[in-house]
Amino acid sequence: MALAEQTKIPNPIGESMPRIDVFEKVTGAAVYTDDIQFGPQLLYARVKRSPHPHALIKKIDVSKARALPGVKVVVTGDDFPGHIGLYLKDKHIFARDRVRFVGEPVAAVAAISEEIAEKALDLIEVEYEPLEPVLDPVYGASPEAPLVHPDLGEYEVVNFIFPKPGTNISNHFKIRKGDVEAAWPKCAAIVERTYHIPHVQHVPIEPHVAVAKVDETGEVTLWASSQSPFAQRNLIAKTLGISQSDMRVIAPYVGGGFGCKAGVTMEAIPVAIAQKAKGRPVKLRLTREEEFYTNFVRQGLVIKLKVGCDKDGNLLAMENTMYWDGGASTEYGVNITRAGGYSSTGPFDIPNVKTDSMCVYTNHPIGGAYRGFGMSELHAGIGQVMDELAEKIGMDKVEFLKRNVVQGGDILGTGMKMHPTGIKECIDKVAEALDWGKKAEPSAPNKLRGKGIAVMWKAPAMPPNAGSSAVIELNEDGTLTVNIGGQEIGQGTFTAMAQLAAGVMGVPMDWVRIAGPIDTQYSPYEWQTVASRLTWSMGNAVVAAARDARQQVLKVVAEAWDEDPDDLDIVNGTVVSYKSEREMSLKDIGIYGINKEGDTGWIGGPIVGRGNFMPTYVTGLDPETGQGNRAVVHYTTGAQGFEIEIDKDTGRLEIIRAASAFDVGKAINPDLVRAQIEGGFVQGMSSAIFEEMKLVGGEMKNPSFVDYRIATAADIPPEHKTFIVEVPQDDGPFGARGIGEHPMVPSIAALGNAIYDAISVRLDPPFTSEKIYLAMLDAGLVE
């Protein structure tokens, strides 16, 4: 390791293959980065994958692969019969009786090099019997569709997910509030619309990569690029029959996640292989093509909406039917369906609601966590329907939004009372930034100009008992070491946690160190780094730990000075007394405590603060009505708007300017909040304009950056104004709520509304130049 540190070699688990990065100066021998980290015993794994979307496995012959020199392990589904899954245990590590999507793991090889492992895959012979695939969620939910999971009724499932055995519906979340049928005749205007939202990929810069080692005693260590080290420890251990105490997950910094590195996707594969090669580490790194369709993708959605209002623009009723294309496994996706269900009205106050949110098995890639967790998809429909309804009754669209958005005290679709929110202020700031109500002239005769605005909300989508913990140690020099289990994935959570610890403890921020990497053997527990929950949940734990450590310090000093702890404070790392005006630096307390006067003994000792947090107030919801006291912990709300131009000759969409405003409760670090708003805006814009997995017959036809377009710096508009609104959250640290996912939620709807304002046509995303041009052609806007 000394050589690696001296030459600053990157963390080798993120590298694609063994590389000659440095040369040993004395012998001239090549040194491989993988060898430096894991030694020459490292094995490289590759995976045999299904070429069919749906088929029975009749026979697997691995004999030729096992005989290939350099191959050390070959495994199939016969070796690992257990099911795995976060909310619904519906998949195997390797397919057993059947395959359910193109790219599903069927077998795996570990060899002394990736090249040999690839050759071995070609020697594995698999005999399939193709079955009729399910490639549409609406059809998949019908009684006529073949069953993707005939054994659905036998799977283990958490108590807030409601599968329908004998169907392809793995979760059916319902809301029944008021009487929608009685409300329709009272409506002055009704809009009915169906939108189709495509699958998209997370495309992190760093692909999935993991290394696993099982020692001779059976203890497992997994190094993984992970948002969920503790969840991975728990799920993999259960599936493979390992005690959680015998499994350790180490998670260095993550090179991009956006949800795809949450839960368990490919990480169980190297662990399974390593069980057959004890003492040898096994590395699996996905290729870019594998990254596109063999792990989590954002689910597709078909959303059917019917919304009505009275003559004054007051919303009266909504019927929302959502068919989520959950793919071949919905072990994580069922909770997206649930989140879509309890948030199905969008941030609107609607007295009569009927929601059916269904997660449907198909033979598409597996749908999982993606930034926004279903909210971008459902808001794409809701935001455009509300825009259309406002136009239908002749009301200004901004005024329509402000009239109908939720406010503190409103009773939501689930029966929960809404907490205070600054969503109206968000709308006003975006409208003002776009000069709403002032029609700007196009920049050229062949251009059409439009403006659009949309609102959003999102709650942390998680189990009701997802917990956080933190430990803070006071060091000899007065500095703090903060131990946490949440992951840094570029969102700045380590910085925010350091700020919270410093602010509560009363020390300069540069006195705080965050312990890392995250290691389940030493780091305190954290459920997952998902749901935009760390600032709120883990932040509460850090605040509690800092208060604990602070109280210990003040108690020790008060005893030494014979004073009341209430008269003491810690200011810039120094304990001060407002009564006696004495002071003492934390550097003098540290580990060793305080010497009593007259050298009669010592007071204190090592200071270790502990804190934890778990919301205890989230209640269950009735499975038939979706009603309950508190469906979620809270909602973050916001608004976003665009001004665009469309070229009539090409259909090209150009964003002239944009604005985003979000109520974050309290911005712990305003610069980081703005960075999240800007980053989420670009990702939302990218998914709205460019991104779509082209799935034909269950196979992705564009699994590369040649054919799968994402936004780049060149696509960012010249003007994007960001606004931070702060209406404090009662259960957040200093009133803070999360903001990581929310900025991309309203983007599709806001852009869709701007496009409609320009060309008077409603479209499904992505809003490509070709799609816009053909729509203008059909509408007679061009010849």
Rounded mean pLDDT, 401-416: 98
Tell me which H or E stretch contains 172.
strand 169-177
Q: Is the pLDDT of residue 23 over 50?
A: no
Q: Are residues 589 and 729 in the same domain?
A: no
Asked whether 733 and 543 are in contact (CB, 8 A), the reply is yes
Residues 322 and 458 in one domain: yes
Question: Does residue 28 surpass a pLDDT of 70?
Answer: no
pLDDT of residue 208: 97
- 170: in domain: no
% of the chain exceeding 90 in pLDDT: 94
Give the pLDDT confidence score for residue 304 in this predicted structure: 98
Residues 309 and 436 in one domain: yes
Is-contact 336 374, C-beta < 8 A? yes
Q: Which two tokens stand for residue 467?
A: 């917990």
Number of domains in the chain: 3
Q: Is 441 exposed, middle or buried (0-12, 13-18, 19+ CB in 10 A)?
A: exposed
> Residue 183: pLDDT above 90?
yes
Q: Are strands 720-725 and 653-663 parallel, antiparallel or unpaired?
A: parallel
pLDDT of 19 > 80? The answer is no
Could you say which of 285, 311, 332 is where a domain stops? 285
pLDDT at 5 (0 to 100): 31
With beta carbons less than 8 A apart as the criterion, state whether 20 and 28 touch: no
pLDDT above 70: residue 35: no
Average pLDDT, the chain: 95
State yes or no: pLDDT of 3 exceeds 50.
no
Q: Which of 563, 597, 613 is the last residue of a domain?
A: 613
Is residue 115 annotated as a catalytic residue, yes or no?
no
Distance of CA 154 to the CA centre of its chain: 28
Inside any domain, residue 144: no
Percentage of the chain beyond pLDDT 70 is 96
Q: Which two tokens stand for residue 151?
A: 């054994």
For residue 110, the one-letter residue type is A
Helix (H), strand (E), coil (C) string for 263-296: CCCCCHHHHHHHCCCCCCCEEEECCHHHHHHCCC
Query: Model confidence at 36, in pLDDT bands (50, 70, 90)?
Result: confident
Does position 26 have pLDDT exceeding 90, yes or no?
A: no
Q: Is the pLDDT of residue 31 over 90?
A: no
Residue 102 covered by a domain: yes
Q: What is the CATH number of the domain that holds 673?
A: 3.30.365.10
pLDDT band at 14, cuts 50/70/90?
very low
Position 197 in a domain: no
pLDDT digits (tens, 9 = 90+) for 188-241: 999 999 999 999 999 999 999 999 999 999 999 999 999 999 999 999 999 999
Band of the pLDDT at 22, cuts 50, 70, 90?
very low
Global pTM value: 0.95
Distance in angstroms (rounded) separating the CA atoms of residues 269 and 257: 19
Domain contains 764:
yes
Per-residue pLDDT reduced to its tens digit, 352-396: 999 999 999 999 999 999 999 999 999 999 999 999 999 999 999
Whether 212 and 281 have beta carbons less than 8 Å apart is answered as yes
- One domain, residues 260 and 374: no
Strand 315-327 versus strand 300-309 pairing type: antiparallel
Q: Do 24 and 54 sit in the same domain of this protein?
A: no
**Pair 443, 337 in one domain:** yes
What pLDDT, in 10s, does the model give residues 516-537?
A: 999 999 999 999 999 999 999 9
Answer yes or no: is 566 within a domain.
Answer: yes
Counting every residue, how long is the chain?
783
Shared domain for 625 and 737, answered yes or no, is yes
Pairing of strands 608-613, 594-595: unpaired
Element (H, E) at 402: helix 397-404
State which of 565, 582, 613 marks the end of a domain.
613
Residues 756 and 627 both lie in one domain? yes
For residues 155-167, average pLDDT: 98
Q: Write down the catalytic residue from 581, 741, 770, 783.
A: 741
Q: Is residue 608 part of a domain?
A: yes
Q: How far is CA 555 from CA 564, 568, 619, in A?
A: 8, 9, 38
pLDDT tens per residue across span 443-481: 999 999 999 999 999 999 999 999 999 999 999 999 999
- 316/363 same-domain check: yes
Are 423 and 555 members of one domain?
Answer: no
**What average pLDDT does range 308-326 have in this prediction?**
98
State how far Cα 28 lies from the chain centre.
Answer: 46
95 has pLDDT over 50 = yes
Determine, yes or no, domain membership for 320: yes
SS3 357: strand
Question: Which residues neighbour 418 within 8 Å (Cβ) at sequence distance 6 or greater?
Answer: 406, 407, 408, 409, 410, 411, 412, 635
343 and 380 inside one domain: yes
Joined tokens for residue 326? 């959950």
Closest CA to 675 of 537, 496, 543: 496
pLDDT at 37: 83
Instruction: Residue 98: name the closest of 55, 131, 53, 132 by CA.
Output: 55
Q: What is the CATH number of the domain that holds 62?
A: 3.90.1170.50
Residues 313 and 437 in one domain: yes
For residues 584-597, give the mean pLDDT.
Answer: 91
First CA to last CA across the chain, in angstroms?
67
Domain that holds residue 361: 300-462+620-778
